[in-house]
Amino acid sequence: MSRFLTPSKVALLCLISIYTEGVIPNSSAVHVLSFLVASLSPLDADPSSSKNWKAQYSASITDLEGALSTHSSSIPGRTIWDLFLKKVWSIDSCDALEVFFSNVLDLLVKSREEQIRDRDNGLATELGCMRLSRCSPLGAFVRRAQLEFTRLQFHDSVKLWKGFVKYRLPTYHAWARRNPFGEQAMVDMNLLELGLDTGSQLAQVAYGNIEDDLEEDNYVSTKDYALLNLAILQADFGCYGEAISAMQEAVSIARESHDMNCLNFCMSWLYHFGKAFPEQMKDVQNTGMLGNEKEGLAFLKAKAKETEMWSLLKYLLSQLQAIQLPDNDITALLGFLHVEHLIRQGNCIRALEIVERIAQTIHRDNFDIHCQVKLLCLKAYILEKTSQPQRGFSLAMRAANIAYRSRLLPGLWEAICALSGVLLSLREFEAVVAMVESIIPQILESSDCALAARAYSLLVDANMGIAGKARSQGSGQNVEYMNRALEYLDCAYDQYEKVGDIKGQCEMVAKKATVMHLTGDLVLANDYAAKYLDLQRLGSTER
């Protein structure tokens, strides 16, 4: 789910673009602006009504037609709705969507710095063009939309494009009838240029049965998850009935939009609220929305394990260990966190002892596959840290085999990283690059920053190894691989920074200083060496 952008917001951007073109007469401008402001900043969304909430936060294509089709534009014979259709259908491919967002800032008045730069360069000020103030409600929306689009990962931008295609598809015949002389691509201009229709194999792979599945999906961004905050705020002020109503609606919307993180949080909140105020939860329990208590707790435990939504402060460890935990899953998880804590402290011998102890305490009858893969990966990682990586080869292979057969994907990525560490010690640099680069997108999707940092670190070492081989063979490709290593160093540092791993950050900065020294940039090498010392002092202060 996008943090901010949805197909309806792209449509609103198209309408704003039409407004700035000056083709909306004064008699209709107030109506269009009112519709835009009401769609972007709804003030009367009723949390007790799912239908009203969706209408307020996601303008459907039908809403846009009703608002625009009855108003004439400044172009004879064309309504504002006709111009809107022409604009949305001009975005005829995913690449065109990229171009649209790259040019969307042209709708805004230039900043003072840009105006000064244009004046110094002898560029004339644009006249006769309507531009939005950067601080106006519409200008702020345009700036936010462009920023959020640049933040999207590639697969998220493709998902936004597919959603936009489906969002506007009901208007295809109306647009084609009003524009009979242009090239008419129902889904993607690239398919039209290739002579393919939506039933072709390529279209099926890219878009699926988009014509046969016209049911309106709920494209809701995380910015619109206001109900969750409302429920928490109402509970803080003692309005328990209203809080439960808002949270129930948040649960429904999270289920419809497949937002598992939000759904897990809402369900957890309701579970704990029911324990604290059982009288307030009687009506909810009678509806069956949450199932019985056993089912709700099992759901929360399963989702927490899948998404690894656990945190441990890497001074609470001793307090948690003193508690006698009856739950085997939580006991094992606490043990894993303790092992990772010891590894980061450099106490690998003690970490290996705890891994062996956890393996002995888990009975084979109820041996969890996730725990088994995790134990094997941790043991292989400890052997790598103690300069015995080749001893972990069979462990990493076994972990990867179990995870693959069980379709335990997060465990498979971790096992592949453990196996890559072994291959790195055997100087199989090309194999490490091929393996780790193939799973980096999946690791980033899982939001496991620690594993992502380790994967990037492996790519750094592997690329430096290939660069060393190329240099010894007299090949000029060593510079290319060193540049790749520098890029991955920055990525690894960012991931270590997200989890607050000072030791990992120090390691990446030290490697970067070494690379700069090898490339002959002694000034940057000294700068990174100084940064390394600063990080070390910061780490010693935090300990």
The mean per-residue pLDDT over the stretch 361-371 comes to 68
Work out whether the CA dihedral 327, 332, 335, 336 comes out positive or negative: negative
Q: How many CA atoms lie within 13 A of 534 on its CB side?
A: 7
Tokens of 501: 């791993």
CA distance 304 to 300: 6
Q: What is the dihedral of CA 198, 202, 204, 205, to 10 degrees?
A: -150
Give the pLDDT band of residue 301 (cuts 50, 70, 90): low
273 vs 391, which has greater pLDDT?
391
pLDDT of residue 55: 47
Reported as a single tens digit per residue, the pLDDT across 423-481 is: 998 889 999 999 999 999 999 888 888 899 999 999 999 999 998 888 888 777 788 88
The residue with tokens 């920053």 is: 449
Structure tokens at 98: 């990229």
Helix, strand, coil share of the chain (percent; to 5): 70, 0, 25
Task: Quote the CA–CA distance of 20 and 429 in Å, as a whole number.
Answer: 55
| Half-sphere CA count of 437, side-chain side, radius 13 A | 13
CA nearest to 106, candidates 137, 81, 149, 139: 139
94-103 vs 137-151: helix crossing angle, rounded to 10 = 130
pLDDT at 313 over 60: no
pLDDT-based confidence at 46, cuts 50/70/90?
very low
Higher pLDDT, 25 or 248: 25
In sequence order, what are the residues at sequence separation of 6 or more whose Cβ sits closer than 8 angstroms to the Cβ of residue 89?
Answer: 168, 171, 172, 175, 179
Query: What percent of the chain has a predicted confidence (pLDDT) above 90?
Result: 10
Mean pLDDT: which of 140-149, 173-182, 309-318 is highest? 140-149
For the cut 80, the answer to whether the pLDDT of residue 325 exceeds it is: no
Which pLDDT value is given to residue 350? Answer: 87
pLDDT attached to residue 57:
54
Three-state SS at 132: strand
Lowest mean pLDDT among 158-162, 226-230, 502-506, 533-537: 226-230
Is the pLDDT at 400 greater than 60? The verdict is: yes
List pLDDT tens digits, range 333-349.
777 888 888 887 778 88
Q: Which of 23-27, 104-108, 321-325 has the lowest mean pLDDT?
A: 321-325
Higher-confidence residue: 211 or 17?
Answer: 17
- The span from the CA of 207 to the CA of 192, in Å, is 14
pLDDT of 415 reads 92
- Specify the amino acid at residue 87: K
The predicted structure's pLDDT at residue 333: 75
**pLDDT score, position 137:** 85
Q: Average of pLDDT values for 137-155?
A: 85
Give the span between the Cα atoms of 261 and 1, in whole angstroms: 11
pLDDT at 117 over 50: yes
- CA terminus-to-terminus distance, the chain: 38
pLDDT class for 1, splitting at 50, 70, 90?
very low
Rg of the chain in Å (alpha carbons) = 28
Identify the three-state secondary structure at position 46: coil
Between CA 224 and CA 219 the distance in angstroms is: 10
What pLDDT score was predicted for residue 261?
A: 67
Q: What is the pLDDT of residue 141?
A: 87
Nearest partner of 443 among 153, 94, 152, judged by Cα: 153
pLDDT mean across residues, the chain: 78
Q: What is the pLDDT of residue 526?
A: 86
- Residue-wise pLDDT for 17-31, tens only, equals 998 888 888 888 888
CB 19 within 8 A of CB 83: no
Is it the case that residue 102 has pLDDT exceeding 50?
Answer: yes
Average pLDDT over residues 152-174: 85
Half-sphere exposure of 117 (CA within 13 A, CB side): 5
Binned at pLDDT 50, 70 and 90, residue 316 comes out as very low
Choice among 54-63, 126-135, 407-416 with the minimum mean pLDDT:
54-63
Contacts 24+ apart (CB under 8 A), 101-104: 101/145, 101/146, 101/149, 101/150, 104/13, 104/17, 104/142, 104/145, 104/146
pLDDT of residue 12: 92
- Dist CA 435 CA 413 (whole Å): 10
Check pLDDT > 60 for residue 326.
no
- Write down the pTM of the prediction: 0.46
